[in-house]
Structure 1
Amino acid sequence: MLMLMVVVIVMLSLGLTIFKPKNPDISIHPTGLERFQVIGGSNANMTMGMMITITNRNYASFEYRNSTSNVKFRDTVIAQVPIVAGIAPARTTVTVKTSAEFMIGELLRDPNFWTGISNGTLNLQSSSVMPGIARMFNVFKLKATTYSDCHIAFDLLTKAANSTCVSRIKF
């Protein structure tokens, strides 16, 4: 009986400290213009390469399914970023290569666009939901979903981008 209590206390202590789920660190890095296309007279599309860095700080790996991230200027969706299914192993950093398909026509139709870039910076928001399965030691499996909200600032003069992301995981 004493041994069982010790095991329960040790497992509970580990579960509430070391194995407690931690939110992933996610950052977005544009890698360059891949394609620019003008369709008709008023629509233009632009494809920009993106590198998404996911740091899994947990002792469980996270196997995520295909998902899509939406990029917005104010409340208008101006791009979609497909995220291909993959695995973020425990306590590692994974880099996912993808492309953002920007709908320039939607951006230019926004009445706040020109005032929004008057300071030389284009501010965007990105949000994504990645459902998947967390696996600890290939024994325990839990359904989990990560939510990520990012603020992306493009400096129009230097063409540099800075992203700040807030991510959380729910089981």
Structure 2
Amino acid sequence: MAKTNKTFRPGCLQICCASTVIFLIIVAAVVAVLWFTVFKTKNPDIVLENIRIKFLGEQGIMAVDMVVAIKNPNYGSFKYDNTTSFLHYRGNVIAEFPIQQKLVPARGTLNFSTTGNIMVEKLLTDPNFWNDLFSGSLNFTSKATFDGKICVVKIIKFHGMAFSTCDIFYLHPSRIIKSMCTTKIKL
């Protein structure tokens, strides 16, 4: 029986290495294209769907109930920690709204409700309050920071923050409440 020599030729090793490098370059290019197109982060939409004001006259308190919808257009879910939204009138904080920890599903919508008490004495002692009320419109701003984790395809996880600002307009005497929100994501 003849003895065969099984040594690798240098050309075979070069072809194997070149094929591996080309394969890795193609995989990296596909991942980069997906990351900058399909998985590119988009800002979520926050909508104040229902705002109800209850006057608790005996205690001198105005309770505000809000139903909030967060629409996530991204392919990654966002789980945020407990946070607080602050309601401002002309730069002064007049109410706080606790927001419980939740998961906003990928390409889905999360609805939640929160309640806060307006500090009526702060509102009434503002020198602009009565002029604004008699002019027919009170303008408020709500700000919240959502700190949490983003999970893409249940594999890639990283830290993210969402900053939300909502302008709220209370039209008096019709008692119509309108809002417009903007949200920015920071990775």
Do these two structures clear the TM 0.5 threshold for a shared fold by scoring above it?
Answer: yes
Distance in 1 between residues matched to 2:173 and 2:55, nearest whole Å: 20
Aligned residue number for residue 5 of structure 2? none
Question: What letter corresponds to residue 154 of structure 1 in structure 2?
Answer: Y
Q: How does 1:3-82 map to 2 (within 5 A)?
A: 3-34=23-54, 36-39=56-59, 44-82=60-98
Residue ranges of structure 1 left out of the alignment (5+ in a row): none
Question: What letter corresponds to residue 67 of structure 2 in structure 1?
Answer: M
User: Does the 8 Å CA contact 2:43/2:184 hold for their aligned counterparts?
Assistant: yes
Aligned residue number for residue 8 of structure 2? none
Aligned residue number for residue 108 of structure 1? 124
Distance in 1 between residues matched to 2:78 and 2:67, nearest whole Å: 19
Number of residues of Structure 1 aligned to a counterpart in Structure 2 = 167
Question: What letter corresponds to residue 53 of structure 1 in structure 2?
Answer: A
User: Does the 8 Å CA contact 1:30/1:48 hold for their aligned counterparts?
Assistant: no
SS at match of 2:135: coil
Q: Which has the higher contact order (CA 8 A, sep 6+)?
A: 1
Larger strand proportion of the pair: 1
Question: What is the CA RMSD across the aligned residues, in angstroms?
Answer: 1.4
**Identical aligned residues as a percent:** 34
1:88 aligns with 2:121: no
SS at match of 1:117: helix
Larger helix proportion of the pair: 2
Aligned residue number for residue 156 of structure 1? 172
Q: What TM-score, normalized by structure 1, do the two folds share?
A: 0.92
